[in-house]
A and B are shown apart, each in its own frame.
Chain A
């Protein structure tokens, strides 16, 4: 699916508004100064993602996902390499990390962080485009990229949107990815709504 520059800019802006709001919420909760950036946005058909998994597919990832349904449907997730996820949790909670693994307590914290970021993004898309969506409860998943993707959506006609996300906390940069997967026709529906609403 080819996007015009304008459509791509609007999508990026919607995600940026969302992560900006999420950063505000995280600042309120932790009392820290957290900056969130989304420097790049990439749209890939699922068939390409499934056959050519991105580099680094062998490393373990920690992901928080929630599903959405409405005029466009799919799943929204926030993914980190497991050690970056553990570092982010340690920075935000101020608790020393003993190892790079995520225990259940830290999984709960990461799920809330993912929840806040995804809610920011989905909230911004829903509000600006005046769309009412129904959501599932966020769930935590751990695994390698191909298995995480196939567990979120298994249709080759789906569209996969990735937005690189940088958390800047206590002078440390932690990189993750916001991933939105759209079911058949849903991404077209989203783009049509963008064009209708914002023309």
Chain B
């Protein structure tokens, strides 16, 4: 009962608290046992108050509990009994028959005597604990199946290369041997075989590259993004004379933290794409910049090329997804999937905006930004 000058509260206030509340004396006698504990355990106050807790719950005699409670009775710091290390401190069954998982804080309450009382506040965390366990199991299974899929992709891609080499090699030999005897149509058929093999080879190379991006350990360092973007643009221009027509506009970009090889791959793939889809414009322009959205630094690569219809935006970053005709714009449709995977491995996000005939703009963030 609580008394203040004006108000008297009937009953035990701890009965109104939706947690298990118990008070122990230094000889382990139960002095208080609230309604919540009555409901959980089925033990009434009358049957436990003034009795030794160890009669009902013998584990309180174990040193792992008794030694820490002794410190509390001496007025020491509060003790926590967490749900992972102890599961429960007051064993009690849920309606499902499983034991209630608990997180308990025990605090010393000073008395006028030499020793303190131990006040137990027991929280039922069963529901939360079960959901976390389910989440762990699902995450573990998902991680495992992703790893299996990754390794399957890698080995299949790798194993496919040997027969492809054979097809390519032998059709070359056939072509040489039968050159004088084959007519134009036969030669055309042989060429189709060899072109198709080349195409499959490119697909496999890209799949292997995608797989490697997922397996490579990330070594994070601070990166000067302006220098990196300029380097990639210059390298590509040197490799392909046709790029002389493309005007690159590169802004000063904020630095970032990431794996330099992988971030370079992002710019390489994005610039290659931007060039591919804008090279036929009268004045192709590729703009590399950055902006801040909701406090995050966002890097951008934009072109004034053929663009795309926003209703297909979800498909852009998928493996082998292409929004344009292969004959006009060669490629396997893996480049942006690689970009997505690199960005995600850095804890970032990637998205695109575009309009048919007006160009496309790719946005990406990287989890950590250099200060």
Q: Which residues of A contact B (CB under 8 A)?
A: 25, 28-30, 58, 66, 68, 89, 92-93, 95-96, 98, 103-106, 108-109, 111-112, 115-116, 118-119, 122-123, 126, 132-133, 135-138
From known contacts A28-B63, A98-B143, infer whether A119 and B71 are also in contact, taking CB-CB under 8 Å. yes
Query: Which of the 9-residue segments B48-56, B83-91, B323-331, B338-346 touches chain A?
Result: B83-91
Sample 19 A-B pairs with CB under 8 A, ordered by A number: A28-B67, A29-B86, A58-B371, A66-B78, A93-B84, A93-B85, A95-B84, A98-B140, A105-B125, A108-B84, A109-B84, A115-B79, A115-B80, A116-B68, A119-B68, A122-B76, A132-B75, A135-B78, A138-B80
Which one, A98, A105, A133, contacts B84 given CB within 8 A?
A105
Which residues on B sit within 8 Å (CB–CB) of A115? 77-80
Which residues on B sit within 8 Å (CB–CB) of A92? 85
Q: Is the CB of A89 within 8 A of B84?
A: yes
User: A136 CA to B108 CA in the complex, in Å?
Assistant: 10
Chain A residue nearest to B139 in the complex (CB)? A98
Q: Is the CB of B77 within 8 A of A122?
A: yes
Most buried by B among A112, A118, A126: A112
Which one, A93, A119, A137, contacts B105 given CB within 8 A?
A137
How many Å from the CB of B135 to the closest CB on chain A? 8
User: A97 CA to B86 CA in the complex, in Å?
Assistant: 18
Q: Which residues of B contact A (CB under 8 A)?
A: 62-64, 67-68, 71, 75-86, 103, 105, 107-108, 125, 128-129, 132, 136, 139-140, 143, 371
Which residues on A sit within 8 Å (CB–CB) of B132? 103-105
10 A-B pairs closest in CB distance: A135-B77, A112-B82, A28-B64, A108-B82, A109-B84, A112-B80, A115-B80, A109-B82, A98-B139, A119-B77
Which residues on A sit within 8 Å (CB–CB) of B125? 105, 108
User: A108 CA to B139 CA in the complex, in Å?
Assistant: 21
User: A111 CA to B128 CA in the complex, in Å?
Assistant: 17
User: A29 CA to B85 CA in the complex, in Å?
Assistant: 7
How many Å from the CB of B346 to the closest CB on chain A? 15
How many Å from the CB of B89 to the closest CB on chain A? 12
User: A79 CA to B233 CA in the complex, in Å?
Assistant: 45
Which residues on A sit within 8 Å (CB–CB) of B103? 108
Which residues on B sit within 8 Å (CB–CB) of A25? 64, 67-68
Which one, B81, B107, B129, B140, contacts A112 given CB within 8 A?
B81
Which residues on B sit within 8 Å (CB–CB) of A95? 84, 136
Most buried by A among B62, B79, B371: B79
Which residues on A sit within 8 Å (CB–CB) of B75? 132
Most buried by A among B62, B77, B78, B125: B77
How many Å from the CB of A116 to the closest CB on chain B? 8
Taking A108-B83, A123-B71 as known contacts, 8 extra A-B pairs with beta carbons closer than 8 A to each other, sorted by chain A number, are A30-B85, A66-B78, A68-B77, A109-B83, A112-B82, A115-B77, A122-B77, A137-B105
Which residues on B sit within 8 Å (CB–CB) of A104? 128, 132
User: A53 CA to B319 CA in the complex, in Å?
Assistant: 46
User: A5 CA to B2 CA in the complex, in Å?
Assistant: 53
Which residues on A sit within 8 Å (CB–CB) of B62? 28
Q: Is the CB of A111 within 8 A of B129?
A: no
User: A135 CA to B78 CA in the complex, in Å?
Assistant: 7
Which residues on B sit within 8 Å (CB–CB) of A136? 78
From known contacts A25-B67, A103-B132, A108-B103, infer whether A138 and B143 are also in contact, taking CB-CB under 8 Å. no
User: A132 CA to B103 CA in the complex, in Å?
Assistant: 27
Q: Is the CB of B81 within 8 A of A123?
A: no
User: A20 CA to B83 CA in the complex, in Å?
Assistant: 24
Which residues on A sit within 8 Å (CB–CB) of B63? 28
Chain B residue nearest to A118 in the complex (CB)? B77
Chain B residue nearest to A105 in the complex (CB)? B132
Which residues on B sit within 8 Å (CB–CB) of A123? 71, 76-77
User: A179 CA to B371 CA in the complex, in Å?
Assistant: 27
